[in-house]
Amino acid sequence: MDRLTAMKVFCEVAASGSFSATADKLDMSRAMVTRYIGELETWLDARLLQRTTRKVTLTDAGESCLRRSQQMLALMDNIEEETLRHDGELRGQLRLTCSMSFGFAHLAGAISDFLALHPQLKIDLNVSDRAVNLVEERIDLAIRISSEPDPMLIARPLARCDSVLVASPGYLSEHGIPQAPAALTQHGCLSYANFGRSIWSFLRGDEHEQVAVSSRFSANEATVLLHAALADGGIALQPTYLAKPYIDNGQLIALLPDWQVPAMTIYALYPSRRHLSPAVRALLDFLVGRFEKLLW
């Protein structure tokens, strides 16, 4: 039995809680997943998983095995990189995570250009706004937008993230153009993951206003709200990296130009500076160079 493959299968089952999901992700049969887990349990002479009809959970032995397996797999990745990079080529696979909106608007293109420079490298991108444990899920790099990044992670700034208030010409022709932040209470607003009322903040010089806007349509993802605004659905607060092309071509109108929304920062986050792989270092440098002068 390939014990490293068995450890990889076991880690995926532990992460997903499902043999079927693991089989789909690793492109193998469910029977093969079961076989790998069974042979790993036989080799260790311990039950690693508790199986019920509804879910799969780790036993105490499984918890210990999971930590050791993750360490072994990470070590093997490092060994492969160290032994195979004598020709200067970056090899192996990196796992990234970022929001859907930034992945759609900019990161997908950046990764494609980076991979064109390094044909022996693979990148797996997990698109989600969900906060993930980078160590437990073996994520090499997370691209996140925040005003206060997780202090337990190393944060490297990539770019400033401004936001802009937008609506479609169709919506504005029917409902009018708000002339001040307070006027937003009279409009249909598209809010982020908060049914009912949301608080939007605006700055103009020394002035600071907060408006509790009413929202009939909220979502947990910025791209959804962008397309709702394009469909005359209301006024949305959008990151400029996502909205700028639509403002430039006239599909969306920027509102309240004298007022600004507090800016955030786009960060690359990773667990530790120690043992940072050459591929991660190269990708970090590439992203910093790509976005440092980018205006959106």
Over pLDDT 70: what percentage of the chain? 93
Asked if the model's pLDDT at residue 239 lies above 70, the reply is yes
CA-based nearest residue to 280, from 123, 106, 52, 54: 123
Sheet holding 154-161, edge to edge: 121-127, 92-98, 141-146, 264-270, 154-161
Domains of the chain with bracketed CATH: 3-83 (1.10.10.10), 92-159+266-292 (3.40.190.10), 163-262 (3.40.190.290)
How far apart CA 169 and CA 29 sit, in angstroms, is 52
pLDDT on residue 5: 87
- pLDDT tens-place string over residues 55-114: 788 998 989 899 888 888 877 776 665 545 555 688 888 999 999 999 999 999 999 999
Do 141 and 281 form a contact (C-beta atoms < 8 A)? no
Instruction: Name the more confident of 275 and 137.
Output: 137
CB atoms within 10 A of CB 96: 20
- State the DSSP string of 33-51: HHHHHHHHHHHHTS--EEE
pTM for the predicted model, two decimal places? 0.69
